[in-house]
Amino acid sequence: MPRMSNLVMVVPKRVFMLFGTILDYPTRDLSAHIAECAEVIGDRAPASVADLESFREEVEGAPLGYLEEVHTAFFDLNPVCRPYVGYHLFGETYRRSMFMIRLKEIYAQNGFEFPKNDLPDRLSVFLSFLGTNDDNVLGRELIDEALAPTMAKMTGMEVPVSRVASGRGRARSAKKEKEEVGPVPGGAEAGGPERPGTGGGSEELQGHSHGGEVDDGVLLDAVHESAGVASGASCLYVKPLRSLARIIPALWEPGRQAAAGRGEL
């Protein structure tokens, strides 16, 4: 098995910038960004591309106002799908605050700026940083310890990380992540053990992500109705989330294999 230190990223890092744009508030260029992202991924993850192409088919021709309503109903009004990495790792606890402080430090150290009205753990901001980051070790840590478990929670999928290739880790799953204490990437230290989503008066996330009990519940039906969006429409954004989750296992290859014929990252 290849050692983790010998793994290199073989998918152009621009893919993260594109996913950040796709999952952010929709614009008129959404379809073009989806097409570019699918092209960048190419044949490295066919299932990921298939999700993107299906998503593009559904958004093409849709009124921008409708897409904005769907986005709001899916991400802002659905607690299982809140677009904040720290929220999925730690819930609304002091550990999330520490995580955001550490992210701001990492961003500043790497010259990355983000909108002042956004939180540093917003998924689109986090992905945009990964799309500009040149430190492979830091990038791998952020992907393994933050992005992968977040995708596991938001999609309910198994999301293998680079340590699986080295024989030192295992796939992330929504069930397992509920039982684990999330890390603070970049070396920030925290206090005693605390499960994500517990402590500090917060409530742990419940239900199954996307396609399970949460999406079919009375609460979300009411949310969709108040937003003027059909319940099934919210499933639009499951596709790019699943696409992102599926690209994570394809990110890394052993150095020798990656050196043969891969394009500039």
Percent of the chain with pLDDT over 70: 66
Please report how many Cα atoms fall inside a 13 Å half-sphere around the Cα of residue 148, on the Cβ side: 28
DSSP secondary structure letter of residue 183:
P
pLDDT at 177 over 60: no
- Residue 257 in any domain: the answer is no
- Residue 256 in any domain: the answer is no
- Residue 232 in any domain: the answer is yes
- Residue 262 in any domain: the answer is no
- Residue 170 in any domain: the answer is yes
Full DSSP string of 113-176: ---TTS-TTBHHHHHHHHTT---HHHHHHHIIIIIHHHHHHHH---B--HHHHTTS---B-HHH
pLDDT of residue 173: 47
Q: Which pLDDT tens digit goes with each residue over 96-127?
A: 999 999 999 999 999 999 998 999 999 999 99
pTM score above 0.85 = no
DSSP secondary structure letter of residue 24:
S
The CA distance from 136 to 125, in Å, is 18
- Residue 153 in any domain: the answer is yes
Q: In total, how many domains does the chain have?
A: 1
Domain range for 99? 4-247
